[in-house]
Amino acid sequence: MTTEGDLKINIRLLRGYSDRIGWRWGMKSPLLSLIALFASTGIYSQDSASARAQFYRSPQLFVMTGFIANTGTGVWGADYIVNGPWTREKQQAALESWNKGLGSAYDAERAVATFKNAGATGVIFYDKWHDGNVPHSTKLTGFHTERDLLGLTLKALHSQNMKAVVYYSVGLDANPEPRFLDWTCLDPKRKPMGMAFENDWKSFYSPYRMYALDQMVEILKNYGPLDGFYLDLFAQPVGSRDKYTDAAFQAKYGKPVGEGSEEELQEFKVQTLSDYLLELRRKLSAVQPDIGLTWNGAGMGDIVNPREAKWVDSSVDWFSMEGHSWPNIDQGARLGHASDRPFDVGILLSSSWYVPVSDQAPPPAMSEDEARVSAATAWIQGGNVYAALTPGHSGIFDENGDLRVLRAIGSWLRDNKE
């Protein structure tokens, strides 16, 4: 529980960050906004905290890992596997080639045991990423990996009594099947909207809404029980002109999206996210009542937006942010410390999120000392840490790379946990 003393301490600590936070979030007075949020609105009150995240009592170390490929437009970091300028055809050809033999040597039982011995208590494993490629056995699309990599990992986590969370990119999907193009958000010129790819934003008012929801239910039914789902890109572009979103906006406001005011567009966006998150919880809870939910950035990036914090962030069971650099890790831990529920900060131990075409895993992004300081910064302020690791194409992790750094932070936690 956050006490008044905790609040005063954290406001004092946040003062040094106020200018930087204000620049990042576009606030004229970020410190006053944070004071208002925590002290006045009660948006993240103790009453709103969920019991579904009891499994995530701090301090804990999780591993985030899996098999995703960088076939974006070349701006998404290392291990870009498309040769030359990006085109949709090249992206699909590269992904098809990358899928062949993917994880052929991946021993999930051994990998999970290695994480556990290093000090991890659970794993967040990638399911569908922004490209739409699905790494589990699914009846909902033919666009999936050769091996059931998710199923193997969850089975290993269950057998070794490790906590299991599934990552799912819910807002973006560049699946090449024709029906997905019909579900794509459109800009004012009626052109497909994209982020990682040119047409990966999907409307939550289109049939994609149920596709994503049904796929998460499929995962829970086939591989559960799970501790939770970690949603990525849980967002929608403001003012998409696709026919599905426009029809929903018309029904609410009596006019097309293009005629909506900024206030109406923001209100509509928040309602869209809130309604979908609650529907997702209902569907998943019908299969497993105690399932936990969060999304990447929950409680952090929008914490100075009281409306979104109240109707969207407050519906998740734990807060989460990508930290990576020490200043961001420290900032996230300070904000999380003042919240009413578990929170974690992510650290990318590898130099790349993405599995390359070669069997050599990407090298680590930091030294053991840098990783220890980064992780300890979150732990000593009451948070958890997820450490992102990347294997080589065959599924082998580097004993002298990411795993060495993981052991270093896991050892620090064991030595200092009490």
DSSP symbol at 362: P
Considering the chain, what is the average pLDDT of its residues? 87
Residues with Cβ < 8 Å from 5, sequence gap 6 or more?
Answer: none
In the chain, what are the helix, strand and coil shares in percent, each to the nearest 5? Answer: 45, 15, 45
Assess if residue 249 is contained within a domain: no
Residues with Cβ < 8 Å from 89, sequence gap 6 or more?
Answer: none
Question: Is residue 277 scored above 60 in pLDDT?
Answer: yes
Question: pLDDT value at position 25?
Answer: 32
Please, is 35 exposed, middle or buried when counting C-beta atoms within 10 Å of its C-beta (0-12, 13-18, 19+)? Answer: middle
Assess if residue 266 is contained within a domain: no
**Contact predicate 343/299, CB 8 Å:** yes
Confidence of residue 393 (pLDDT cuts 50, 70, 90): very high
**Which residue range(s) make up the domain with 44?**
4-236+274-416
* Long-range Cβ contact pairs of 187-193 (< 8 A, separation 24 or more): 187/237, 187/240, 187/241, 188/239, 188/241, 188/258, 190/241, 193/237, 193/240
Assess if residue 137 is contained within a domain: yes
Question: pLDDT value at position 17?
Answer: 33
203-213 tens-digit pLDDT: 999 999 999 99
Assess if residue 243 is contained within a domain: no
Assess if residue 42 is contained within a domain: yes
Distance CA 37, CA 368 (A): 37
CATH code of the domain in which 359 resides: 3.20.20.80
Q: Which of 20, 3, 63 is nearest to 332 (CA)?
A: 20
Q: Which of 269, 331, 263 is nearest to 300 (CA)?
A: 331
Alpha helix (H) residue ranges in 187-239 = 208-223
Distance CA 38, CA 40 (A): 6
Assess if residue 244 is contained within a domain: no
Q: Which of 223, 217, 221, 219 is nearest to 284 (CA)?
A: 217
Of 86-95, 106-115, 365-374, the one with minimum mean pLDDT is 86-95
The total of structural domains in the chain comes to 1
Assess if residue 369 is contained within a domain: yes
Confidence of residue 30 (pLDDT cuts 50, 70, 90): very low
Of 10-19, 113-122, 328-337, 404-413, the one with minimum mean pLDDT is 10-19
Of 42-51, 135-144, 200-209, 282-291, the one with minimum mean pLDDT is 42-51
Distance CA 266, CA 270 (A): 6
Distance CA 168, CA 368 (A): 29
Question: pLDDT value at position 303?
Answer: 58
Question: pLDDT value at position 74?
Answer: 65
pTM of the model: 0.88
Distance CA 326, CA 65 (A): 21
73-109 tens-digit pLDDT: 766 777 788 877 778 888 889 889 999 999 999 999 9
134-146 tens-digit pLDDT: 999 999 999 999 9
210-243 tens-digit pLDDT: 999 999 999 999 999 999 999 999 999 989 999 9
Assess if residue 108 is contained within a domain: yes
**Contact predicate 349/26, CB 8 Å:** no
Question: Is residue 26 scored above 50 in pLDDT?
Answer: no
Separation of first and last alpha carbons in the chain: 19
Looking at per-residue pLDDT, the higher value among 10 and 234 belongs to: 234
